[in-house]
Amino acid sequence: MTATSNVVRLPTAPKRKVQQNHNRAARAEREKLPRHPAERLFPGQREALKLAAELGKVDQTPGLMLALMMFQAQPLEVRGAVAPQIAAAAAQGHGYAREIATALRLTTLNFGQQCDFEWACRRLRGEA
């Protein structure tokens, strides 16, 4: 009993696998590189790192602490009404407005963002 095959070798098929010698040096260099050189962070963690770095640049004055406490005591609607005015002052170049905008941003974080922000602060201090 002979086995018949349905596979037919095409006449244009190469007799053997073609070696690509021109890529050998580049392939060797790529293999030396680490597989995952970049640190993988979730988008919320990246945003929290930016916010923590921005907060680290801010001089934490008593006035800023007072503004932060006042924002936390206000309902979200009031904070939303004040935000465009603070943004306009920051656009005009007032130095204090950027600090107040950062304080306002800290009061609008949800629970997950607060956890990411605390992680980012610990990381910037070198604790995590």
Burial of 71 (0-12, 13-18, 19+ CB in 10 A): buried
pTM attached to this predicted model: 0.62
- In sequence order, the 6+-apart residues with CB closer than 8 A to the CB of 18 are none
What does the pLDDT look like over 59-107, one tens digit per residue?
A: 888 888 888 898 889 998 988 898 899 889 988 988 788 888 888 888 8
pLDDT of amino acid 106: 87
